[in-house]
Amino acid sequence: MRSNLRILAAGTLLAVGLSAGLSGCASSFPADPDGTLDRVSGGTLRVGIAPNGDWTDMTDDGEASGIEVSLIEDFAETIDADIAWVEGSEEALFTRLEDGGLDLVIGGFTDRTPWLDRAAITKPFTEVSTSDGVEKHVMAASRGENAFLLELERFLLATEGAP
């Protein structure tokens, strides 16, 4: 009796998942709940930039430069996207990322960033030896946008160790 109930519950869950998937836009797997990759491909990639040494910099007249900036410019080219740079403090940028106002935040972050819970942190794209040990550098994408995250990580892994 009870095991029948369990099977019923599992079956229902499976059926709901499948039907939602088939009826929904199952164009890519994994898919983005908010469709980030579809929107930015051929559109505009909104990137938050927190100035941080050689990694990210911003001039007064809004010219972005740095190692991560070049990486993102190359990435944007692969998906045919224009980039809208938004400069700000880390807190302001991560809050906007969570609200859906940004797609990506860069700022020379390492995998020990305290923003781990507020964003989808990419796999490290480069490692740098410093006096504090090895720093593994990462970027921060919008949470749960897995198609976009996967696309970005594929690009970063392909250009690993570039700088």
Partner 1 sequence: MSVAFGETELPQKQTEILRKAIRLEWLTIAFLAVTVTLVFFVLGNSQAMKAAWIEDLLSFIPPLVFLIAVRIARRKPNPKHPYGYHRSVGVGHLVAAVALVTMGTFLIIDSASGLLAAEHPSIGSVELFGQVFWLGWLMMGVMALIALPPVFIGRAKMTLARELHDKVLYADADMNKADWMTAVGSIVGVGGIGLGLWWADAAAALFIAGSILWDGVKNTRAAVEDLGDTRAMTFDDAKPHPVVHRVDEYLRSLHWVEDAGSRARDQGHVLHIESFVVPRSRRKVAVADLVAAREACVALDWRVEDIVIVPVKELPRVVRESHPAR
Note the residues at the interface with partner 1 (CB under 8 A). 3, 6-7, 9-10, 13-14, 17, 20-21, 24-26, 29-33, 120-123, 141, 143-147, 149-150, 153-154, 157
In sequence order, the β-bridge partners of residue 120 are: 141
Query: Which lies closer to partner 1 via its Cβ, residue 33 or residue 43?
Result: 33
Burial code (b: 16+ CB inside 10 Å, e: under 16) for 45-73 equals bbbbbbbeeebbbbeeeeebebbbbebbe
The minimum distance between CB 120 and partner 1, in angstroms, equals 3
Alpha carbon distance 42, 56 (integer Å): 24
Identify the DSSP state of 142.
P
Alpha carbon distance 50, 145 (integer Å): 21
Query: Which lies closer to partner 1 via its Cβ, residue 47 or residue 64?
Result: 47
The minimum distance between CB 1 and partner 1, in angstroms, equals 13
The minimum distance between CB 159 and partner 1, in angstroms, equals 12
The minimum distance between CB 155 and partner 1, in angstroms, equals 10
